[in-house]
Amino acid sequence: MDPDLSPRPSGLIGAVDNVLRLLRLFEERELLRVNEVSREMRLSRSTVHRMFATLSHHRFVAQDEHSRGYRAGPVLVDIGLAVVQNMDVRALSYGALVRLRDATRETVHLATLRGAEVLFVESVESEQVLKTSSRVGWTLPAHATAAGKAMLAELTEREVVALYPTETLTAPTERALTSVAALREQLDEVRLRGYAVNNAESENDVSAVGAVVKDRQGKVRAAVVVTGPRSRADQGWIERVSTATMRTAKELSGLIV
């Protein structure tokens, strides 16, 4: 059903509704003009102009200097691409995550970096009785997770400083890093070994190993993570699981365009 013709809920915010309706016009055309939008949406030209000005300020639209019409801006395009890319990564990764689960007998996850946090977007649970559970939908501090540290290690020094402008880090557990200086040291280690370790830093009885997944252009798209109870995550466990995790990350990196 056309959203413009469907019944409108009582709690609808008029101004937000108008902006979203305007953005949906880009589904059918490349260029929008104030007069056309004003006529189609039955809004005054001044209202439409203010909507475009606001969207332009946030780079959701960009004005064409010749026609003075508006095109989809870089932020709107980036959001759409990010959603599609994340869907592609999840779809492509599931089979590899299942194989990694079977090889390690532990729960495995796919996570993405969102600023200074990690978002878990996929999980395949271990079949063992004592196991870690799915983390889908969870967000955790990047500096306290194997996935986060693996992806942070791919950033430049300037990007790390932008994410962590102050020296002090929040510690979810007593074993978590509390300073950016300590984080930098660990990131150097991650770059040398090719994988990151979380030793009860995000949760008291969970350990993890993570490695980055890149697309064919070398851009980091996600991290593959294996988590297990700390009680069995000794050095031998880390060595065995890290080898399997890096192998899976490399496999996925060859699939993602």
* Mean pLDDT in consecutive groups of 10 residues from the start of the chain, 257 residues: 52 78 81 89 90 86 83 73 59 88 97 92 94 93 97 95 93 95 96 96 96 89 96 96 96 77
CATH of the domain at 50: 1.10.10.10
Q: What pLDDT, on the 0 to 100 scale, is given for residue 149?
A: 98
pLDDT of 212: 97
Number of domains observed in the structure of the chain? 2
Of the residues 72, 100, 121, the one at which a domain ends: 72
Same domain assignment for residues 33 and 147: no
Predicted local confidence at residue 76, as pLDDT:
73
Q: Looking up tokens 């509390």, which residue turns up?
A: 178
In a domain, 34, yes or no: yes
Residues 95 and 58 sit within 8 Å (Cβ to Cβ): no
pLDDT at position 17, please? 84
Same domain, 211 and 228: yes
Based on the domain organization, do 22 and 122 belong to the same domain?
A: no
Return the CATH number at 184: 3.30.450.40
C-alpha 105/C-alpha 9 separation (Å) is 48
Q: Please identify, among 31, 51, 72, the residue that sits at the C-terminal boundary of a domain.
A: 72
- Long-range Cβ pairs for the range 214-220 (8 Å, 24+): 214/253, 214/256, 215/253, 215/256, 215/257, 216/253, 216/254, 216/256, 216/257, 220/113, 220/151, 220/154
Q: Is residue 106 part of a domain?
A: yes
- Asked whether residue 126 falls in the same domain as residue 49, the answer is no
Domain termination site, one of 23, 39, 72: 72
Listed in order, strand segments (DSSP E) in 44-187 are: 61-63, 70-72, 107-114, 117-124, 139-141
Q: Based on the fold, state whether residues 49 and 161 are members of the same structural domain.
A: no
What is the per-residue pLDDT for 253? 86
Residue 169 and residue 96 in one domain: yes
How confident is the model at residue 5, as a pLDDT? 47
Full domain range(s) for residue 29: 14-72
